[in-house]
Structure 1
Amino acid sequence: MTRKVYDAKGTEPSGPYSHAVDAGEFIYFSGQTAKNSPTAKDMTGDIAAQTQQCFDNLFEVMKEANLTSDDVVKVNVYLTDMNNFAEMNGVYEKQFVAPYPARTCVAVLALPLGAEVEIEMVAKRSK
């Protein structure tokens, strides 16, 4: 099987992985941090800015796959500090319209590149 993948300009993987893999009906988007953007400034301590950059990166990859936020069915959010939940959530809720995708949010000890939030998604291609 040959993998069909999508990558986007302006985002760089921080390891040996593809930004998104097309599995037919479902497209799996790798986690993005604010630091996956080569032009990102140091946003340490600004969880709102980091969250927005995560979505900007993800939506750039989604464009390459001809998808929109309306196609997202599941989101996983990883935070290094649950005290940042409300601020992350304030940015998150502006990215989608109701009914919202399913979501999991968990606290983790650390994230790649010193990020404080990482977001990954699964989208379903419309027929």
Structure 2
Amino acid sequence: MTDKTALTPKTHAAPPAKFSHGVRKGNILQVAGQVGFVPAEEGRPPTPAGPTLREQTLQTFANVKAILEEGGASWDDVMMIRVYLTDVEHFAEMNEIYDGYLEEQGLTQPPPARTTVYVGLPKGLLIEIDALAVLG
């Protein structure tokens, strides 16, 4: 049986509760829901990348990518992405940012499956993203 490995990149602060930012077991890597917090600095509380959906989405993608890389994966290994938005009005803008980001990352075809849902997040946060990767 393959052991589970917790993944916490240097850019991430310790989780605020008993969970891992990512977990890898064998060739499966699950990235926990990430938000648009800028990389951790000693003594500074987590801070959103900015007030806009674009700023937070791009930082959220960077945070997911850091965990994928920590586990030996890339966007090409991602099978499923779940996007959690706080406002239904952000859907079209998020799609534009999402498509542009994955294109910039050179994601090969086919793209991962995706689910988008609307949720409540802590004040000031507009988006959360998680991902499931299967490594070859």
TM-score (norm 2): 0.81
Equivalent position SS for 1:54: helix
Instruction: Quote the residue 1:100 is aligned against.
Output: 111
Do 1:31 and 1:118's aligned partners in 2 also have CA atoms closer than 8 Å? yes
Distance 1:42 1:123, change over 3 A: closer
Pick aligned residue for 2:127 from 108, 117, 127: 117
Aligned identity (percent) is: 34
- Could you list the runs of 4 or more consecutive aligned residues of structure 1 that deviate by over 6 angstroms after TM superposition? none
Distance between the aligned counterparts of 2:64 and 2:21, measured in 1? Answer: 8
Deviation per CA, 1:1-55: give whole Å up to 9, x if none.
Answer: 85311111112234321111112221110010012633655522x1011010001
TM-score (norm 1): 0.86
Distance between the aligned counterparts of 1:21 and 1:112, measured in 2? Answer: 24
Q: Which runs of 5+ in 1 are unaligned?
A: none
Pick aligned residue for 1:72 from 74, 78, 99: 78
Q: Which runs of 5+ in 2 are unaligned?
A: 42-46
1:63 partnered with 2:77: no
Alignment of 1:13-52 (within 5 A): 13-35=15-37, 37-38=39-40, 40-41=47-48, 43-44=50-51, 46-52=52-58
Distance between the aligned counterparts of 2:38 and 2:19, measured in 1? Answer: 12
Total equivalences in the alignment: 124
Q: Name which one, 1 or 2, has greater alpha-carbon Rg.
A: 2
Distance 1:50 1:14, change over 3 A: farther
Deviation per CA, 1:75-118: give whole Å up to 9, x if none.
Answer: 0000000101111111211333331100000011x114641100
Equivalent position SS for 2:24: strand
Once superposed, what is the RMSD of the aligned Cα atoms? Answer: 2.0
Moved more, 115-124 or 11-20: 11-20
